[in-house]
């Protein structure tokens, strides 16, 4: 059971990382900002995605 749960968790993290990198790459942020976020996501896969979701570059309307 532990292997399946770990494998599933790893797959979810991989999908979230790829999604975050694609969203960052296609966003309208500056090149330096894109590089920073992509490197952060690659170096810290779980924590990087969480930080990106909270503080990453935003598109469209800002939430108040």
More confident: 63 or 26:
26
- Asked, for residue 26, whether it belongs to a domain, the answer is yes
Residue ranges making up the domain that contains 14: 2-55
Confidence of residue 3 (pLDDT cuts 50, 70, 90): low
- Asked, for residue 61, whether it belongs to a domain, the answer is no
- Asked, for residue 12, whether it belongs to a domain, the answer is yes
- Asked, for residue 7, whether it belongs to a domain, the answer is yes
Give pLDDT, residue 27. 87
- Asked, for residue 24, whether it belongs to a domain, the answer is yes
- Asked, for residue 64, whether it belongs to a domain, the answer is no
Q: How far apart are CA 36 and CA 34, in angstroms?
A: 5
Question: Which residue is associated with the tokens 């960052």?
Answer: 24
Give pLDDT, residue 64. 43
- Asked, for residue 32, whether it belongs to a domain, the answer is yes
* Total structural domains within the chain: 1
- Asked, for residue 60, whether it belongs to a domain, the answer is no
Q: What is the pLDDT of residues 7-52, one digit of tens each?
A: 788 889 999 999 999 999 898 888 998 999 999 999 998 899 999 8
């Amino acid at each position: 059971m532990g292997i399946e749960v770990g494998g599933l968790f790893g797959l979810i993290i991989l999908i979230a990382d790829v999604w975050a990198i694609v969203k960052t790459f296609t966003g309208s942020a500056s090149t330096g900002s894109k590089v920073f976020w992509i490197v952060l996501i690659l170096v810290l896969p779980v924590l990087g995605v969480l930080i990106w979701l909270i503080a990453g570059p935003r598109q469209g309307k800002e939430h108040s």
